[in-house]
Structure 1
Amino acid sequence: MKKLVVSMAVLLGSLTTFASTTITEKQVNTQGIAIQEEYTEVAVDALPDAVKSAVATAMPGAVIEKAYINENQEYKLEVKAGEQTATVYTDADGTIMQK
């Protein structure tokens, strides 16, 4: 009888541990999230000469169709070479950047 009472106490005690709830906080990792930058369109003629010459050197025969600038003075250029189009990012000095 003693074993039966002890067994029931252990069984009931183990069932109550599954019924308990735990509260955990989730941390969100924001390091891998890309923030969309705002660019405003500028005239292709208004581009600095360094930017134009960098595109001409990197992509001979390419034509800059559209140009955009953001608040960091970085340029987003839509470039067409033959039938292919590409988006090229440069800074004001004409250094081509990877984005």
Structure 2
Amino acid sequence: MKKLVLTAAIVLGSLTAMNAQEKDETATPAAETKATEQVTEATSAYTEIKAEELPAAVTEALKKAFPTAILNKASVNDKKEYQLEVKVGDKEGALYADETGKWIQK
């Protein structure tokens, strides 16, 4: 009798785990779509500018924080926040700063 109850518990536990896993797999594409939309909204708010158009404070902050950084692209939004696409060594990424050169977390 103990073996029968133990077997039933294991089978029910397995079915519950499989059901939970299926729900996670179907939720992932929606989460990815939402994340992609947020990135698109964030990047579309910025207008590309020439590196020479960056305020001196932003340029100096970049040189001070990342002396070996290579600026690939610069953009600005309506709030005068600057998006800097940079390469440091073999890593690439985006940095954000306000017009006074203070870094912004995004």
If the length of structure 2 is used for normalisation, what is the TM-score? 0.58
The alignment covers a number of residue pairs equal to 66
In structure 1, how many angstroms separate the alpha carbons of the residues matched to 2:104 and 2:54?
16
The equivalent of 2:85 in structure 1 is 78
In structure 2, how many angstroms separate the alpha carbons of the residues matched to 1:60 and 1:50?
15
In structure 1, how many angstroms separate the alpha carbons of the residues matched to 2:67 and 2:88?
8
- Large movers: runs of 4+ above 2 Å: 34-37
Query: Which amino acid letter does the alignment assign opposite residue 90 of structure 1?
Result: A
Runs of 5+ consecutive residues of structure 2 not aligned to the other structure: 1-37
The equivalent of 1:66 in structure 2 is 73
* Alignment RMSD: 1.5
The equivalent of 2:64 in structure 1 is 57
Identity of matched residues, %: 39
**Per-residue CA shift, 1:36-92, capped at 9, x if unaligned?**
341000001111110011011111211111000000000011011121111000000
SS at match of 2:57: helix
In structure 2, how many angstroms separate the alpha carbons of the residues matched to 1:80 and 1:45?
18
In structure 2, how many angstroms separate the alpha carbons of the residues matched to 1:68 and 1:60?
20
SS at match of 1:94: coil
2:101 is aligned with 1:90: no
Query: Which amino acid letter does the alignment assign opposite residue 86 of structure 2?
Result: V
